[in-house]
Amino acid sequence: MALLQIYKRLLKHFGRQYWWPADTSFEVIVGAILTQQTTWKNVEKAIDNLRENDLLDVSSLARVNLRRLEKVIRPAGYFHQKAERLKGVCKYIYKNYGDDLDKLFSKPIPNLREELLSLNGLGPETVDSIILYAANKPIFVIDAYTRRMAHRLGITDLDQYEDLRKYFEKHLPNDLELYQEFHALIVELGKNYCKTKPNCFLCPLRKECQFSQ
């Protein structure tokens, strides 16, 4: 089954997701860092805490006391590690770009990606989420849900992040909105049907899935 067909099937089933759930590009960056190894519900609590404490901007997070930041983002889990990463990323951005995220995001995707990957704690999935949803540039995000869906449907047996990303980008139109929606739809598929222990009977892709047969 072609990737574009899968996208259309999921879109028909779930409807548009309008990801990423954030008010600003900076909030996307914060969410992408905090969502590592936790649920979005916990991330929302941490972001609400940041907002209530007037810490949801680059300069404030660059200057905030690390211990205070840990307490504020505690709901997101791994708060020692995440506070250090979040503050470090904000210090870098503020030092090099001030509050002007547009200047950072104006760079071509390869250059922007290389720069963000050089920052402590930012791996490919986090960086590509920032590029796709905060910078609004077309790059396909690969996560555990995407890998699971691809393997179970028999789309490809590729497993490495970069290989899978390039595969999806090669077999899909280079379209920002499509990339954003498709990734969000795959997340919905993974949360509702294509779980570790899957709910194949109700899955919108069950007829094409090798795993369920």
Model pLDDT, residue 213: 55
Please say if the pLDDT value at position 114 is more than 90. Answer: yes
pTM of the model: 0.95
Region 159-178: what's the mean pLDDT?
A: 98
Count of other CB atoms within 10 angstroms of residue 158: 17
> For residues 141 and 183, is the Cβ–Cβ distance under 8 A?
yes
CA atoms of 81 and 76, how far apart (whole Å): 11
HSE, CB side, 13 Å, CA atoms: give it for residue 63: 10
Better-scored residue on pLDDT, 99 or 73 = 73
Phi-psi region of 137 (alpha: psi -120 to 50; beta: other; left: phi over 0): beta
pLDDT averaged over the chain? 96
The length of the chain is 213
Q: What is the CATH number of domain 25-133?
A: 1.10.340.30
Among residues 126, 139, 134, 120, which one has the least CA distance to residue 178? 139
What's the CATH architecture for 3-18+140-202?
Answer: Orthogonal Bundle (1.10)
CA atoms of 174 and 9, how far apart (whole Å): 19
CA atoms of 154 and 1, how far apart (whole Å): 9
Domain ranges of the chain: 3-18+140-202, 25-133
Q: Quick: pLDDT tens for 4-38.
A: 999 999 999 999 999 999 999 999 999 999 999 99
